[in-house]
Amino acid sequence: MQRLPHRLLATLLAIAFAPLNSFAISKPHGSLEKQPMNQKTMEDLIRRVAENVEGETGALRFTYDGVALACVSDVQHDRMRLIAPIASADELTQEQWRRMLDANFHTALDARYATSDGVLYSAFIHPLSPLTAEQLNSALHQVAMLAKTFGSSYTSGTLSYGEAGTEL
């Protein structure tokens, strides 16, 4: 694997992680600030767009676009996560591991492949309060798509940052 010169790598990292407030971002005239998300609002939104919703506050299981998902949240720590189990991590090939890592960089977008307790998941992890309804809808779609496309295109949607396997 070709290593990037230290200066080039430092420059690329500085650009990638530049504070957003250093750019002028204008809001449409008269736009309303987004309301903070809370447990009830998030779960109500999931109930509206998902099927077969079961569980209790902070731990819902449901089907979205034909994929079994769960939403686990912790109000005290202001965190939420959407997960969809995909396969046993022990049964993955080296090529699947490589493709997943490439996808996490190029095509998974806000969702990610992750493992826990020997299970491969599609996951979206985010602070609860700044989450918007639009982001939640996008996250549901991305987690479901990432699970569906495992083994083929390894993508959570249509946007891609280059092709998987492309090096800088």
Closest CA to 157 of 128, 124, 126: 124
pLDDT in tens, 7-17: 544 444 444 33
> Which amino acid does the sequence have at 94?
Q
Contacts of 11 (CB under 8 A, 6+ apart): none
Take residue 54 and report the two structure tokens written for it: 């079961």
Question: Could you tell me the residue ranges of all domains in the chain?
Answer: 34-148
Q: Is the pLDDT of residue 158 over 90?
A: no
Name the nearest CA neighbour of 34 among 135, 127, 143, 137.
135
Least confident of 8-22, 59-73, 110-124, 149-163: 8-22
Please state which CATH number belongs to domain 34-148: 3.30.1460.10
pLDDT in tens, 32-79: 346 779 999 999 999 999 999 999 999 999 999 999 999 999 999 999
**73 within 8 A of 81, measured Cβ to Cβ:** yes
Q: CA-to-CA distance for 133 and 137, rounded, in angstroms?
A: 6
Q: For residue 133, what are the contacts with CB-CB under 8 A and spacing of at least 6?
A: 37, 41, 45
Amino acid identity at 51: E
Tally the residues of the chain.
Answer: 168
